[in-house]
Amino acid sequence: MDTYLDIILFLAGFLIVAVAASRLSLYFLKVKLPIITGLLVIGIIAGPFVLKLIPGESLSQLNFINDISLSFIAFAAGAELYLAELKGRMKSIKWMTFSQLFFTFVLSSIVIFYFSERIPFMSGFTNGVKIAISLLIGVIFVARSPVSAIAIINEMRAKGPFVKTAIGVTVVKDVIVIILFTVCFAIADALISNIPIDFILIVILIGELLLSFFLGWLLGKLMNFVLGLNMGTGMKAFALITLGYLSFFLAHQLHHYSELWLGFHIYIEPLLICILASFYVVNYGNYRREFNKIIERVVPKIYILFFTLTGAALSLDSFVEAFSIAIIFFFIRLISMAIGAYVGGRLAGDPKSYNKISWTPYVTQAGVALGLVSIVSQKYPEWGAEFATVLITLIVINQIVGPPLFKWAILKVGESHIKHDILNEKRNKKVYIFGIEGESLALARQLNAADVQVTMVTRDRNKSMHEYDGVKVVQMKNFGLEEMKRNGADKADSFVLFYQDEESLEICELAYEHFGTRHLVVRLNNRKFMKRFNELGALIVEPASMLINLMDHLVRSPIATSIILGMDENQDTVDVEMQNQDFHGMSLRELQMPGDIIILATKRNESPIISTGYTRLRMGDVLTLVGSRESLEKVELKFGHKNEADFSRLKGMQMNLLTKQRSSKEDDSF
């Protein structure tokens, strides 16, 4: 009873530290360091070697947090291995993966064994133990961080063959490295325990792998069943966490009781089981999107727990010595990785410009590597603490050095779209609003807040001299061709007109004939002009009927209308043109998209089409999407750039503003 009470108290104290760490780690972003590094550092400070907020005796009692965390880290890694998105660069991914796997693992293991007497926690052991530790370190060197890679790609808005190969290799390697770790862990256990490596051991090893594959398939089926149950997302997430923990519990129990029952240890790798289960759900299950939604929600919280606890367990007694060894390990890993990447690129036939820097995306390490370190250190406590200190220090160094290297490589190959997209956004969001009044000013301020370049146009000199909360105002004496060009209106993507119909019509005709302005938005006063505006392709807002129509839609379909009008300030609506050849022919239901994205409409050849989950995408299709801004950025990165016609929501914004203006006037009348 006392033991359970101790666990509850230790857990409560640790959760308080973890909550604090989740906030404090954000400050590391300001000094260009990853949040993961912040969590590790805060864990060290809060741990038994500094402030002792996390007592040393609590670490063994909190091992179950490691198991839960590792299972979900494996789920997240397996979820990235979505086969439908890896086609097109499979040749490069294949050669790069196996070349790096071979050279990084083999070369680094040999070099570490050669220098083993100079490594404190390896010196003094027999050659068999040194070989075992060298193999385990070599496997950990291969591990990479899909989460870090995806974060950098999103930040750089990177797209192209180099980036696609990088993310494909990263994800595939994390699956293969778990299999390799399972094999090496069994061999290492035999070498350390002085068990002869013979035919029987090989049979046992193959049997363990086959059992792990079977259990991974079985867990995947069970997870798919849980995802199909009629219960809330929170309950499903809890069920998946429980299943992940049970896979580790089963592995521990089987390892313990197999010795009692069979006379030898049976080791099944729970990381491999979880990663295979996740792979099954994503590629062959029926609830891929819901599973990804749960992963997106749970994994950030799991990382806080895992990295904080890992930092707390880091021994500072040998930190200075570990740092010097970690630097040597860093260069051993870097050189072997560079050789493997170059050879793999040559075998795949990649361009020479890629091959010279093809190693840069794979430097960063995080969750899976730390998970493997944790497993080894728990299995061999006599030298595991020093082993973990050196390897975690190495991982922190890789976390600091890796992201800048990957960013540099993306810029080097020209697959970053940061500058390009900024230029596009400035060009695509250049709006001229004709007429200064309450409603047009409100619209201008809202567009300005959305980073749209707004210029307000007036003929009144006095109005043009006033300040309007940072909104640019120009005076045009007339709306002739030369005057409009002189003020840059010919380069605008959108005109919004608040003048009387006759004047607005003249401006629309001028824009239609001479400028080719993409969007003309007109506030209509008299319906007799509607046909002429329609002929010019103008978007018409009619105040007389707008409020009634809006209220009608809010009554009949409040959720859809709220989404379109952008009532949730955290959501946005964009049109994205499908420019990625790899998705040509894929059905909408096969797309791997964030869970909060909704496809409102699909347009093909300027005509809307009825979309279902089985609608197959074609190059040039325009998808109208709604979701959080962060998720929309990810989808734009997948499909291509934001459509130049991304002012489809302009009319909705104006309707919303006009409604608010009208409502405020009516309130004042009371």
**What residue ranges in 498-556 does DSSP mark as E strands?**
519-523, 539-541
| Same-domain check for residues 307 and 214 | yes
**CATH number of residue 383's parent domain:** 1.20.1530.20
- The stretch 230-256 carries a mean pLDDT of 87
Does residue 555 fall inside a structural domain?
A: no
Whether 459 shows a pLDDT value over 80: the answer reads yes
Min mean pLDDT across 148-152, 171-175, 264-268, 422-426 is at: 422-426
Q: How confident is the model at residue 423 (pLDDT cuts 50, 70, 90)?
A: very low
**Residues 433, 418: contact at Cβ < 8 Å?**
no
Whether 553 shows a pLDDT value over 70: the answer reads no
For a pLDDT cut of 90, what percent of the chain falls above it?
5
Q: What is the pLDDT of residues 372-416, one digit of tens each?
A: 887 888 788 888 888 888 888 888 788 778 878 888 888 888 777
**Best-predicted range by mean pLDDT (413-422, 616-625, 648-657):** 616-625
**Residues 239, 299: contact at Cβ < 8 Å?**
no
| Same-domain check for residues 270 and 400 | yes
- The stretch 427-431 carries a mean pLDDT of 69
**CATH number of residue 631's parent domain:** 3.30.70.1450
Does residue 630 fall inside a structural domain?
A: yes
Q: What is the pLDDT of residues 297-330, one digit of tens each?
A: 888 888 888 888 878 877 666 666 678 888 989 9
Q: Over the Cα atoms of the chain, what is R_g?
A: 30
Q: How confident is the model at residue 162 (pLDDT cuts 50, 70, 90)?
A: confident
Whether 455 shows a pLDDT value over 80: the answer reads yes
Does residue 564 fall inside a structural domain?
A: no
Does residue 558 fall inside a structural domain?
A: no
Q: How confident is the model at residue 156 (pLDDT cuts 50, 70, 90)?
A: low
Helix 161-192 to helix 199-227 angle (10° resolution) is: 130
Sign of CA dihedral 341, 344, 346, 348: negative
Q: What is the pLDDT of residues 474-495, one digit of tens each?
A: 888 888 888 888 888 888 888 9
Whether 647 shows a pLDDT value over 50: the answer reads no
* CA–CA separation, 295 and 278 (whole Å): 10
- What pLDDT shows up at residue 532? 85
Structural domain of 541: 423-549+655-669
| Same-domain check for residues 529 and 638 | no
| Same-domain check for residues 316 and 205 | yes
| Same-domain check for residues 156 and 12 | yes
- The stretch 15-43 carries a mean pLDDT of 82
Does residue 345 fall inside a structural domain?
A: yes
* CA–CA separation, 254 and 265 (whole Å): 8
Whether 59 shows a pLDDT value over 60: the answer reads yes
In sequence order, what are the beta bridge partners of 576? 623, 642
Domain boundary among 386, 416, 446: 416
**Residue, of 617 and 105, whose pLDDT is higher:** 105
Q: Which residues contact 7 (CB under 8 A, 6 or more apart)?
A: 61, 62
| Same-domain check for residues 114 and 172 | yes
What's the domain count of the chain? 3
- What pLDDT shows up at residue 648? 43
Whether 670 shows a pLDDT value over 60: the answer reads no
- What pLDDT shows up at residue 66? 82
Min mean pLDDT across 178-182, 196-200, 347-351 is at: 196-200
| Same-domain check for residues 428 and 379 | no
| Same-domain check for residues 356 and 227 | yes
- What pLDDT shows up at residue 317? 63
- What pLDDT shows up at residue 220? 92
* CA–CA separation, 40 and 24 (whole Å): 11
Does residue 513 fall inside a structural domain?
A: yes
Whether 561 shows a pLDDT value over 70: the answer reads no
* CA–CA separation, 575 and 163 (whole Å): 24
- The stretch 252-265 carries a mean pLDDT of 76
* CA–CA separation, 458 and 470 (whole Å): 16
- The stretch 118-147 carries a mean pLDDT of 84
For a pLDDT cut of 70, what percent of the chain falls above it?
81
**Residue, of 463 and 582, whose pLDDT is higher:** 463
| Same-domain check for residues 357 and 432 | no
| Same-domain check for residues 539 and 632 | no
- What pLDDT shows up at residue 662? 45
* CA–CA separation, 334 and 366 (whole Å): 16
Whether 97 shows a pLDDT value over 80: the answer reads yes
Global pTM reads: 0.61
If one counts every other C-beta atom within 10 angstroms of the C-beta of residue 580, the result is: 18
- The stretch 562-586 carries a mean pLDDT of 68
Whether 277 shows a pLDDT value over 80: the answer reads yes
| Same-domain check for residues 433 and 395 | no
- What pLDDT shows up at residue 668? 36
**Residue, of 643 and 175, whose pLDDT is higher:** 175
- What pLDDT shows up at residue 218? 93
- What pLDDT shows up at residue 110? 92
The rounded mean pLDDT for the chain is: 78
Whether 370 shows a pLDDT value over 70: the answer reads yes
| Same-domain check for residues 510 and 525 | yes
Q: How confident is the model at residue 664 (pLDDT cuts 50, 70, 90)?
A: very low
Whether 540 shows a pLDDT value over 60: the answer reads yes
